[in-house]
């Protein structure tokens, strides 16, 4: 089952995706739609709709250093002796977790604009599987996410991570919510970055099978003693890191594709 949110004449509405067609419902509550609630008010071609973020997440959390590639990239970028913290957290039982956004203040949806910090010199997209958390902390769906990050700021000092990760336009989610048939199955994640002219600047793919901790384990950790509200999203870390000579620039287009979820496409601005 897949759902989207779209802008309609009646306001934002949730829709159930059936092939290339969307059955629009009479409400704008993705969690209710995932429970099978709502009546169909009409249909529309998926390609004709202006898609919104698939859920207005009250909070978006991130897990870091969950792939070996991510650990290695953090070690490479680190400029101080504190670089060992990345190796230690990768091997530790307790994961790195941080709050990326609240109230969708820094997050856009499919087709929206992501941004780079004005005081950063090395910014990258981080394609990630996002898990939507429902009532009682139960995972209910997945989506695609982009944890836009400033590697030079994070590399200067690990205590700068909030500034490297949390800023205007630093996150995107979408385009759909997918209810997996099997939560233990691996998801293939692809990243493509192109210039405004369409020239490919970076492309790669990975799989959640390469994660040190499973998405469900990470959800369990983020819910411990933590009142995360239903509808929040946990981004589960990245296994794709562009080459060190690449940085996001205004006009670049970032495409993140996850099997079953679709392609999350965003343009970069200053």
- Interatomic CA distance for residues 53 and 9, integer angstroms: 17
How much of the chain, in percent, has pLDDT values that exceed 70?
95
CATH architecture of the domain covering 2-50: Roll (2.30)
- Per DSSP (E only), the strands in the chain are 2-8, 11-18, 21-25, 40-45, 50-52, 59-64, 96-102, 107-108, 113-115, 123-124, 127-133, 139-147, 149-150, 171-178, 188-194, 200-207, 233-235, 253-258, 262-269
- Rounding to the nearest 10 degrees, give the CA dihedral for residues 71, 77, 83, 87: 10
DSSP character at residue 94: S
pLDDT, average across residues 164-183: 98
> Which 3 state secondary structure label does DSSP give 188?
strand
Q: What is the pTM of this model?
A: 0.95
Sign of torsion over alpha carbons 222, 173, 143, 189: negative
- β-sheet bridge partners, residue 44: 22
Collect all residues with Cβ–Cβ distance below 8 Å to 58 and sequence separation of at least 6: 102, 103, 229, 231, 232
210-222: burial string, b at 16+ Cβ within 10 Å, e else: ebbbbbeebbebb
Render 198-228 in DSSP notation, one character per residue: --EEEEEEEEGGGBSS-HHHHHHHHHTT--P
Per residue in 79-134, pLDDT tens?
666 667 888 888 899 999 999 999 999 999 999 999 999 999 999 999 999 999 99
- Domain 59-269 belongs in CATH node 3.90.850.10: yes
Q: Does the pLDDT value for residue 77 go beyond 90?
A: no
CB atoms within 10 A of CB 146: 27
- Banded pLDDT at 69 (limits 50, 70, 90): low
- Give 178's Cβ-side CA count (13 Å radius): 21
Predicted local distance difference test score (pLDDT) of residue 86: 81
Q: 2-8 and 11-18: which strand pairing?
A: antiparallel
- Interatomic CA distance for residues 41 and 18, integer angstroms: 15
Predicted local distance difference test score (pLDDT) of residue 72: 73
- β-sheet bridge partners, residue 268: 114
Angle between helices 68-77 and 84-91 (to 10 degrees): 160
pLDDT, average across residues 189-202: 97
pLDDT, average across residues 24-52: 97
Q: Does the pLDDT value for residue 30 go beyond 90?
A: yes
Domain spans, the chain: 2-50, 59-269
């Amino acid at each position: 089952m897949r759902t989207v949110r779209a802008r309609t004449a009646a306001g934002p509405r949730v829709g159930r995706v059936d092939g290339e067609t969307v059955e629009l419902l009479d409400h704008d509550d993705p969690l209710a739609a995932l429970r099978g609630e709502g009546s169909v008010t009409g249909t529309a071609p998926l390609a004709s709709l202006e898609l919104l973020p698939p859920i207005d997440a009250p909070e978006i959390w991130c897990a870091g250093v969950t792939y070996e590639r991510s650990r290695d990239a953090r070690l490479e970028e680190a400029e101080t002796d504190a670089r060992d913290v990345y190796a230690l957290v990768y091997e530790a039982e307790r994961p790195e977790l941080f709050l990326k956004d609240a109230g969708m203040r820094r997050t856009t949806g499919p087709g929206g604009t992501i941004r780079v910090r004005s005081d950063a010199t090395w910014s990258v997209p981080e394609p990630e599987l996002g898990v939507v958390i429902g009532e009682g902390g139960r995972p209910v769906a997945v989506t695609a996410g982009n944890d836009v990050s400033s590697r030079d700021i994070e590399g200067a000092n690990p205590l700068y991570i909030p500034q490297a990760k949390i800023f205007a336009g630093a996150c995107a989610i979408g385009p759909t919510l997918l209810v997996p048939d099997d939560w233990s199955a691996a998801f293939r994640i692809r990243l493509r970055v192109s210039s405004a002219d369409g020239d490919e600047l970076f492309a790669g793919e990975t799989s959640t099978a390469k994660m040190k901790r499973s998405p469900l384990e990470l959800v369990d950790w983020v819910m411990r003693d933590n009142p995360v509200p239903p509808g929040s999203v946990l981004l589960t870390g990245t296994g794709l890191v562009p080459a060190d000579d690449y940085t996001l620039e205004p006009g670049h287009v970032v495409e993140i594709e996850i099997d079953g979820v679709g392609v999350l496409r965003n343009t970069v601005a200053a």
